[in-house]
Structure formats: C-alpha cells, structure tokens
Structure 1
Amino acid sequence: MKGTFLLVSTIAALSASAAAAQSSGNWTGFYGGLQFGYADIDTNISGVEGDGAIGGIILGYDYDLSDWVVGLGFDYDWASIGLAPGVKVEDVWRVKARAGYKVTSTGLLYGVGGFAEAGTDNLGSEDGWFIGAGYEQIVAPNISVAGEILYHEFSNFDRTGIDVDATTLQVRAAYRF
C-alpha cells in the first residue's frame, strides 16, 4: 500500500511539473500523436498521378534552447492513393530533423527535413528526401496542434526510371511528455 501511494504521488508530481512546463512554453521532451491530411503525388510519366487522404502516427523529441527549438522525429502514414491502374501508394515513413523559432512562448514556426521512404502495393518501395515547414501551438498543458506542409522526392522509384514527387499537407495533434 505504501509503495502504491509513493508511485501515485510521484506520477502526480511529474505530471504537474510537466503540465506547468508546457503551459509556460517549455518545449523540451518527448511527444507522440496523430496526423491526418492530404497528399498530391506526381510522376515524370504523363497521366500517372494521384491524390487523396493520408494519415498516421508521429513520435519525437524536442529540445528548447530559449527562443529556438530543435528536435528529431519519426512519422508513419498510411495511404491508399491510386497512381495508375493497379498501382497504389500505401505508406510513407519519415525520419526528420526540425528547427524552429518561438514566435510566442507557446507558438513555434519551424522548418523540417530528412529521409523518407514510400511504399506501393506492387512496385516496391523507394528511399527519398523531404523538406517542409509548419506551425505548432501548445493549446493545453501537454497538448499541441500543428499544421505542416512537406515536399518529397523519390528518384528512379524501385529502379523503374520513374521519378516521383509528392506534397503533403497535414494537421497534427500531439501529447507532450
């Protein structure tokens, strides 16, 4: 019983300090959440393109440097975007680095870039890169929402000679630990 009380007290104290830190604009810590949005995909072959819904999970860590915030993250998105008969983009995952400027103590304008991989239902997958920008706002203790636009490039997709570029626009919600 004494151990349970100590554990509950410790968790409550840590949660309260994390909530105070987040409401005061301290961005340091881990986060996890969901994102949902729209993807527009083009290729270097006329008529092979598509667009549709995309969404998934986000995980990462940010470090607050006073007016600036830097971080590393991971995104995984599911999709079902048809490009041509029998070809669908099924998923995209990203490893990202981001750096941003706090425009207010709870608002962050940031740039982001990194490694991406896109997978299809029958043409395999391909590595590529992406770059983008976003705005994130802490809206409640430990909760933030963001909007993010990313541009992706995948050259010579699965050695087919097809170059693919994609633009995604997503809304994100995260719980910040």
Structure 2
Amino acid sequence: MKLLVPAVTSIALLGAPAAMAADWTGPYAGFGIGHADVDGPGAADGKETTFGGHIGYDYDFGDFVVGGELEVNRVDLALPAGGGTIDNVANLKLKGGYDFGPALGYAVVGGSRAFTSLGNDTGFVYGLGVAYQVNEQFTVSGEVLQHKFDNVGTTTSDYDSTSVNLRASFRF
C-alpha cells in the first residue's frame, strides 16, 4: 500500500495533460446574452434581457493582449414615465488585458450608439471582462459594461446603463 499511492500519483501526474499555453492572436465572432439595467430621467428606469453578436480581433504580445471589437445587442426595453424605448445598442470597443494562459482578464473602453424611440445617440462604454479558452476554437467570456448617453435624440434625457453579458466566441 505504501508503494501503491506514490506509484498511482506518479502515473496520474505523468499522464495529466500539460497546461494549455493559449495564443489569443486572431479573429473571432460569437453571440451573447445578458441583462441590462437602464437609468433614465425621473422614474424612467428599466431592466431587460439582451442578446446579440460580436466580431473582433486580438493580438497576443506574450503577457499582454490588445484587440478591438464590434458588438451589437438587441435590448427592446420600454422605459416607464414617457422615457421612450431603447431598441438596440452598438459598441465599438478597444480591449487590453493580461494573458493568464487559457484565461484572459481585460478592460474595455470605446464608443457606444443607442438606437431609441427618442432618437439615436452616441455615448461611451467601459468595463471589465474575463475570457476562458475551452479549446483553440471556442472561448467563453463574461463582461460587465457601463454605458453613458447624454441628451438622447432631441431631448435633454440622459441614460446610464449597466449590463452583464455571458458570451461564446469562435476563434478562426
């Protein structure tokens, strides 16, 4: 028995796959689902499930990864108290993060465009995310994003939105 435990442990360690040294360089595309919490003027607050698609490119510099991404999400949120509706949100994001091997922690910053019943408005987006490479072609990730829009359409209405997204991406 004294020899059996070290022998089994040695075999298990020798037979275990090595940690994947992920390369984040390359294009990717995917889809996501999330939840948005929008704060508008007065009592015009709302919460809704979102879904959409994204396409981007990352470049791995060893320990650090930079990239860019275009993301479009369907929101379909009717805000109470005459706050209008938010139909879609598009984000053009710059991404920078640290390569932990199969995991990537990153921050995003960029421009955002809200398509609403009150008119369209350009604002900005920023947030944090983490991605994990399941294999060379498939990545799962999560992001928390903050959107800021001022003077939506021809109104003086400001909208702030916090969204949490779960995403799946296919790397090419």
**TM above 0.5:** yes
Question: Which residue does the alignment assign to 2:133?
Answer: 138
User: Amino acid of the residue matched to residue 136 of structure 1?
Assistant: A
Matched, 1:89 2:86: yes
Partners of 1:64 and 1:42 lie apart in 2 by 37
Higher helix share goes to which structure? 1
Q: CA deviation at 1:87?
A: 2.2
**Which consecutive unaligned segments of at least 5 residues does structure 2 have?**
1-19
**CA-to-aligned-CA distance 1:87-139 (integer Å, 9 cap, x gap):** 22110001000000012x1100000010000111x211100001100000001
Partners of 1:86 and 1:132 lie apart in 2 by 25
Q: CA deviation at 1:86?
A: 7.7
Question: Which residue does the alignment assign to 1:61?
Answer: 57
Question: Which residue does the alignment assign to 1:163?
Answer: 158
2:71 aligns with one of 71, 75, 79? 75
Write out aligned runs for 1:1-177 (5 A).
24-43=21-40, 45-84=41-80, 87-103=84-100, 105-120=101-116, 122-177=117-172
**Deviating 4+ runs (over 6 angstroms):** none
Structure number with larger C-alpha Rg: 2
**Which consecutive unaligned segments of at least 5 residues does structure 1 have?**
1-22
Secondary structure at the counterpart of residue 38 of structure 1: strand
